[in-house]
Structure 1
Amino acid sequence: MIVIEHEERLIKRTEQLLGQQVELVANLSFSSRATVLRLRVAGGSTVIVKQHVSEARFHNEKLALTSLPTSISPELITASNGIVIMEDVGDGPSVANLLLANDAAAARNALQSWASSLGKIASHTADEPFGSAVSKDFEHCMRAHADLSKLWEVPLAGAQINELRRIVTSLKTPGPYHILTVSDAACPDNNRVTADGTVRLFDFEYAQRGHAAVDAAYILAPFCSCWCVAPMPSPVTDHMYAAYSAEYPKAQSQEFRNLSIAAAVVLILPGLLRSSIKALEGVTTPQSQPPYSALQRCYLRLDWLSNQDAVAPEFAYFARRLQERVAHRIAIPDISTYPAFVDC
């Protein structure tokens, strides 16, 4: 555990690392996991300083910024003792911003560029010497499966447990699909869409060695673990996956596509559990557009899971049972696609 510096002390530490005075522009911290500052340096340009609470997350971020091309991620300036200093990619729109706006063409282009960036990351890190170990841990996903069963009083079947174990074993044995996965950096708000249309990702604190399908899952089940989840038009998803596959040709196989869907099945479970708990507590109000309430996110994730018979039939059945239990206890809310695609 790293002791988070007070803002002023963190600025002093940054000055020591850079060898120059800096000026605070803004505190961009968004959670208790890290302190994030935008600082002005000599010459008037700005940098981003991020200090992690977790030493492991500091090393994850450092590994990603060291490994990835700066065309799709911030340039690493220096990293030491839990502090990462990186290029400031600016205040441009994120993919999430464009999805929540009203320009369908801009949103489609940004999504394809975002998927292309994920594909470039997969290709760029496929041959990196990360060793054979896979860091990604799916234990919390397996616990969420059991907790969902208890919460909604839907008994677990042995076939479901075996199917989950089979998927997790496949993901923890990546073989030819071993890359540096970016995890939360794949969420639609952890990026900037640049003037030339390129999408540059950031927030790599959960980047780990693992199966490429873990990142591709965010394309086939768009933003499966993120807050900004909503129905995506099928043609848009197909174009995203085509853009990803063009950069990472291994994704063109049916085997990989099925593994990516299976990965999404697993990754959805923790978010589904959190949404279910909040929905039952009645602490959320349905929204007319994203970001949706916990209840609406619960329905969205169950709806996607219930249609995955081809890859995960036991989980599809489990999801349909959960849907019955949810509908029995809570009114089904209205849900529409992203504002950018409402008129498409």
Structure 2
Amino acid sequence: MESILRAAGALVGTELSGAVDLGGSARSTVLRCETAGGGSVIVKAFGHEPESLRCFTAEAAGLSLGMAGPEVLGVDPEVPLLVMADLGNAPTLADVLLGDDPAAAEKGLLAWARGLGALAAASVPRRADLARLWSRYDRGMPSWEDDPWTAENANALPELLDGAAIASPAGLEEELARIGTAGGEEYPAFTPGDTCPDNSLITPGGLRLIDFEAACYQSVFLTAAYCRMPFSSCWCVFTLPPGTAARIEGAYRAEVVGAYPALADDEVWQAGMRQATAVWTVDATVRLLPRVVEDGPLHPTRRPTPTRRQVLRHRWEAAAGLEEFPAFARTMRLLLREVAGAWEVAALPGYPAFGNRGE
């Protein structure tokens, strides 16, 4: 802790003290620190494991674009660490969704969707800037854009099905090959990489995002799917009142159409959204299915949160209607019958802010 404070203080030219641990992760330590002048800053220090170094580079490069996140006050690639402006204690989108004010929750969701869409649209001409910044802070790890995670997930699914004693339907391999191509080349835009509710601050000045550890350019559909599913890869997953998901998806789409006019075409939009839904359903299945032998909460400490089985069943139910991928949809129905059919868990409830009225 002391070495982090000394390095961060030297970086910004002031003594830092009174560090408060804000949680961080296995890859990073996040501290709120007092400055000698009576203000405060956020210090984020990373480990030296390969994945930690990649996250450092993504955070430093992504935040240095100066879009939607806190201002970068200094970067030390050797420690490595960043010093950022302190955005204060604004509520997160998770706070309002898990609260008791439906109007605040609806307003927060719309602000989140519009903010993400505006960020995506404004970022379209700045891809070369991110590549340049990545090179500046590179610690020897490939960028997230060079990580074929969608293809790797798609390739991993058949083996998981075998382990669950489910025979892959005819045509699944071909469909998974299509699903696995959904990356950053179809309508690419910038994303911090983890736009989950707890990383989305609802401030008086609008949406501000934190956690840029997976910052990259990817298809806008992969971000838009967070509106429809909702929150494709997050722990704060419940159901929304009728029509709410469509409204927030529409708010996001209205912003990105300005950068990509072709997305105003419903056929183009819906096809992209269906593929993105399949991508994130494969991702959830690959991540969570091996861990459902003993069910448990999706987040180790935050409450309320659904269980892994609740989320998987919810994802499979939604993907079972993807007619564009009939073999994949059949696979989802098989998982619902042969795997989830034995689970004695309640259906995924609605968000507490809406009185648990989901759809």
- TM-score category of the 2 structures, normalised to the smaller one: 0.7 to 0.9
Tell me the secondary structure at the aligned position of residue 238 of structure 2. Answer: coil
CA contact 1:181–1:214 (8 Å) conserved in 2: no
CA distance in 2, matches of 1:239, 1:282: 33
CA distance in 2, matches of 1:75, 1:161: 45
* 1:222-241 map, 5 Å: 222-241=230-249
Equivalent residue for 2:136?
Answer: none
Equivalent residue for 1:3?
Answer: none
CA distance in 1, matches of 2:292, 2:356: 29
2:304 corresponds to 1:308: no
CA contact 2:8–2:82 (8 Å) conserved in 1: no
2:307 corresponds to 1:293: yes
The 1:327/1:246 distance shift into structure 2, 3 A limit, reads closer
Equivalent residue for 1:89?
Answer: 87
CA distance in 2, matches of 1:302, 1:116: 28
Counterpart AA for 1:135? D
Equivalent residue for 2:167?
Answer: 155
CA contact 1:219–1:241 (8 Å) conserved in 2: yes
TM-score (norm 2): 0.84
1:49-70: per-residue Cα shift (whole Å, max 9, x none)? 112232221111122112243x
Instruction: Indicate which of 160, 178, 186 corresponds to 2:188.
Output: 178
CA distance in 2, matches of 1:156, 1:290: 35
Equivalent residue for 2:112?
Answer: 114
Give the count of matched residue pairs: 327
2:201 corresponds to 1:192: yes
1:29-83: per-residue Cα shift (whole Å, max 9, x none)? 33211111111113322111112232221111122112243xx321111112121
Counterpart AA for 1:304? A
Q: Structure 2 regions of 5+ residues with no counterpart?
A: 132-142
Percentage of pairs with the same residue = 29
CA distance in 1, matches of 2:251, 2:58: 26
The 1:303/1:290 distance shift into structure 2, 3 A limit, reads farther
Tell me the secondary structure at the aligned position of residue 198 of structure 2. Answer: coil
Quote the offset at 1:24 in angstroms: 2.7
CA distance in 1, matches of 2:184, 2:215: 15
Counterpart AA for 2:73? I
Instruction: Indicate which of 325, 329, 340 corresponds to 2:342.
Output: 329
Q: Structure 1 regions of 5+ residues with no counterpart?
A: 1-6
1:241-274: per-residue Cα shift (whole Å, max 9, x none)? 1211222113433313421331232123233334
TM-score (norm 1): 0.87
CA contact 2:43–2:83 (8 Å) conserved in 1: yes
CA distance in 2, matches of 1:140, 1:31: 24
CA contact 2:69–2:208 (8 Å) conserved in 1: yes
CA distance in 2, matches of 1:52, 1:158: 45
Quote the offset at 1:146 in angstroms: 2.6
CA distance in 2, matches of 1:15, 1:306: 53
CA distance in 1, matches of 2:167, 2:264: 37
2:354 corresponds to 1:341: yes
CA contact 1:90–1:192 (8 Å) conserved in 2: no
Instruction: Indicate which of 42, 53, 59 corresponds to 1:48.
Output: 42
